[in-house]
A and B are shown apart, each in its own frame.
Chain A
Amino acid sequence: MKQFLDFEKPIFELKDKITELKQMAEDSELDLAEDIHRLETRLVNLEENIYQHLSAWDRVQIARHPERPTALDYIDHLFTDFIELHGDRLFRDDPAIITGIASYKGQPVTVIAQQRGKNTKENIYRNFASAHPEGYRKALRQMKLAEKFNRPIISFIDTKGAHPGKGAEERGQGEAIARNLKEMAQLRVPSLSIVIGEGGSGGALGIGLTDQIYMLENSIYSVISPEGAASILWKDATKAKEAAQSLKLNAKDLKQLDIIDDIIPEPKGGAHRDFQMQAAYLDVHIKKSIKYLQSLPLEQLIERRWQKYKKIGEIQN
């Protein structure tokens, strides 16, 4: 597998050069300290330059990085006693969405997550985290249980979208997502969703109508994939770069538009570069969110939820 994304190439070339130089210094006992120092300074500047100025499309690449940590990585790391619970009681268990209960610092929580695979075999089993109606119905069943037993809900969003398939349509994909939105509107427990990779359209929102929405710095959340938008708008999928820019699908843009509540920073180069650090950032933010949401009186929490979504797209004229 390639070690770096296209836009990172100069960084990795320079890193190779430095390694080479260090090796040479060792082998030949030449004093190359000054050269090495010079290149290392240049590397710092280069990294700064590249990672501080990521384009929307660069971030799409990071969000889709095959080594990007998945929901289960975070679940294993951040919760104790995670017990996965399966099935929608209607049709079958959908492995694209994982649900269960766990303890978060002693607080019982309900966890709902779209789960990508880490290799082809896993991805086929998990259908690339694209859920069928039964996945959304399983999630809803767990949300209702969370409400019954007064547990906060934490959703991890990471999907290209709901599965576009024959069975999915036959079993009411639209209805399943719509039903979740309607039910999530009135859940009498706090809820938080975190976009950890790709937030693909209605399929993402189907578990994401929550009191707060957080996004990892390099994750994306979009009404349509940049490729899809480019081919519909300009009949040219290669214009995905421009579409990514125009769609405003980055965390920073969406924070500015007041659609998400907070951005969770990522290690330099993306979550996959330092999982421990990433999990720690996530931890701090989950703790903050749950503490805040639990401090709100229930009626206020539910009114706040309505106000949050009501103001999106509100027209002032």
Chain B
Amino acid sequence: MPLKRIFKNKRKYAALPTEKAKQDIPEGLVEKCQQCSKIFYEKEWKNNLHVCPSCGTHHKMTARERIASLIDEGSFQEWDAELKTTNPLNFPEYEQKLIQDQEKTGLNDAIVTGRGKINKNDVVLVVMDPFFRMASMGGVVGEKIARALERAKDSQLPVIIFTASGGARMQEGMISLMQMAKTAMAVDRFDQAGGCLIVVMTNPTTGGVTASFASIGDYHFAEPNALIGFAGRRIIEQTIREKLPDDFQTAEFQLEQGQIDRIVKRSELKQLLTTVLDLHTVGGDHS
């Protein structure tokens, strides 16, 4: 649907009056936009890919939802789903936290990788899941990214990485930090082999992820208003002792600063990716 109509608010949405919804609708059937507080039927919300039909806010998606929204039906083969961390530093309370999030998300760690087709284009997909430990990068995340890039290199497939991350997985200490090195090196090997890497930054992309594989792709796209940056807002404000503008570290800010190529709405993402992939595979008339 055209977004300008949404903003002009001409169309009647199935948005429900807040009070009535609270009273009449059983929980789980409605979804409330955290931005504008409007309430929608769960089904409508999902059909709209977690983008608020009223204010246009792009809310977080799980990795599986993301993949389902892009991939030709039945074409996705997942890789390394069984990889699980072993709490390498024996960090207190880490295992309980992992189990909690494993139960919550049905994933073993904060990332899903595999290959599939987007409008018939073969691709490798690497998708971080912000609902698992805020998609922080520990050994499993780094390992799965490195393996996916190596396989893509060997089978000469383009790679699309969806980033969403709070940064490092603190409980894995230096193993976590060194995943920055490992993933950046894997990107480099893929790049040297001529591979095409598309990075789509989603809310939030921060810390060590921004300072490694997320920032060295061939094409950098971002979803509207996604938080993208290296240091956290609070720590910057503490350091410089001033308040930062509201739009600081948004996708729009990064576009203006020259750090990303384009902002793309979720509703237009599949088409954009398809076109970019096509432009890398289709030969001209002369060939």
Chain A residues with a Cβ under 8 A of chain B: 162-166, 168-175, 177-179, 181-183, 185-186, 201-202, 205-206, 209, 221-224, 229, 232-233, 246-249, 254, 257, 259, 305-306, 309-310, 312-315, 317
The answer to whether A248 and B174 touch across the interface, beta carbons within 8 angstroms, is: yes
The answer to whether A314 and B143 touch across the interface, beta carbons within 8 angstroms, is: yes
B256 to chain A, nearest CB (A): 9
**0/1 string, B229-249, CB within 8 A of A gives 1:** 111100110011000100011
B136 to chain A, nearest CB (A): 10
The answer to whether B259 and A172 touch across the interface, beta carbons within 8 angstroms, is: yes
Please indicate the chain A residues that have their CB under 8 angstroms from the CB of B23 in the complex: none
Please indicate the chain B residues that have their CB under 8 angstroms from the CB of A233 in the complex: 93, 170
Answer yes or no: B216 CB below 8 A from chain A CBs.
yes
A-B contact pairs, 6 of them (CB 8 A): A164-B236, A223-B173, A223-B174, A223-B176, A259-B178, A310-B185
Answer yes or no: B192 CB below 8 A from chain A CBs.
yes
A205 CB contact (under 8 Å) in B181, B216, B258: B181
The answer to whether A315 and B208 touch across the interface, beta carbons within 8 angstroms, is: no
A178 and B216 in contact, given A223-B176, A257-B88 (Cβ under 8 angstroms): yes
At the interface, is chain B mostly helix, strand, loop or mixed?
helix
A223 and B168 in contact, given A181-B185, A205-B177, A248-B89 (Cβ under 8 angstroms): yes
Q: How far apart are the CA atoms of A206 and B212 in the complex, in Å?
A: 10
A202 and B208 in contact, given A177-B230, A248-B89, A313-B175 (Cβ under 8 angstroms): yes
A313 CB contact (under 8 Å) in B138, B188, B232, B257: B138
Please indicate the chain B residues that have their CB under 8 angstroms from the CB of A229 in the complex: 170
Stretch at the interface among B79-87, B110-118, B124-132, B271-279: B79-87
Taking A174-B229, A257-B89, A315-B86 as known contacts, 15 extra A-B pairs with beta carbons closer than 8 A to each other, sorted by chain A number, are: A165-B239, A166-B240, A166-B248, A174-B210, A178-B180, A181-B216, A205-B180, A209-B181, A222-B177, A229-B170, A257-B175, A312-B175, A312-B179, A312-B181, A315-B84
The answer to whether B211 and A202 touch across the interface, beta carbons within 8 angstroms, is: yes
The answer to whether B143 and A313 touch across the interface, beta carbons within 8 angstroms, is: yes
Q: How far apart are the CA atoms of A171 and B254 in the complex, in Å?
A: 9
B89 CB contact (under 8 Å) in A182, A186, A221, A247: A247
Answer yes or no: B195 CB below 8 A from chain A CBs.
no
Answer yes or no: B262 CB below 8 A from chain A CBs.
no
The answer to whether A172 and B257 touch across the interface, beta carbons within 8 angstroms, is: yes
CB-CB nearest in chain B for A170: B257
A162 CB contact (under 8 Å) in B214, B216, B230: B230
At the interface, is chain A mostly helix, strand, loop or mixed?
helix
The answer to whether A306 and B91 touch across the interface, beta carbons within 8 angstroms, is: no
The answer to whether B142 and A178 touch across the interface, beta carbons within 8 angstroms, is: no
A162 and B89 in contact, given A182-B188, A249-B174, A313-B138 (Cβ under 8 angstroms): no
A168 CB contact (under 8 Å) in B143, B174, B213, B231: B231
Please indicate the chain B residues that have their CB under 8 angstroms from the CB of A165 in the complex: 231, 236, 239-240
Answer yes or no: B226 CB below 8 A from chain A CBs.
no
Q: How far apart are the CA atoms of A172 and B216 in the complex, in Å?
A: 12
Most buried by A among B86, B89, B138, B211: B211
Answer yes or no: B182 CB below 8 A from chain A CBs.
yes
Most buried by B among A174, A177, A206, A254: A174
Please indicate the chain B residues that have their CB under 8 angstroms from the CB of A201 in the complex: 168, 177, 208
Q: How far apart are the CA atoms of A222 and B174 in the complex, in Å?
A: 6
B139 CB contact (under 8 Å) in A170, A202, A248, A313: A313
CB-CB nearest in chain A for B209: A174
The answer to whether B211 and A206 touch across the interface, beta carbons within 8 angstroms, is: yes
**0/1 string, B58-95, CB within 8 A of A gives 1:** 00000000000000000000000011111011011100
The answer to whether A174 and B215 touch across the interface, beta carbons within 8 angstroms, is: yes
Q: How far apart are the CA atoms of A313 and B109 in the complex, in Å?
A: 13
The answer to whether B174 and A185 touch across the interface, beta carbons within 8 angstroms, is: no
The answer to whether B229 and A182 touch across the interface, beta carbons within 8 angstroms, is: no
Please indicate the chain B residues that have their CB under 8 angstroms from the CB of A202 in the complex: 177, 180, 207-208, 211-212, 230
The answer to whether A315 and B184 touch across the interface, beta carbons within 8 angstroms, is: no
Q: How far apart are the CA atoms of A173 and B167 in the complex, in Å?
A: 14
The answer to whether A309 and B170 touch across the interface, beta carbons within 8 angstroms, is: no
Answer yes or no: B251 CB below 8 A from chain A CBs.
no
A178 and B215 in contact, given A202-B208, A313-B172, A315-B143 (Cβ under 8 angstroms): yes
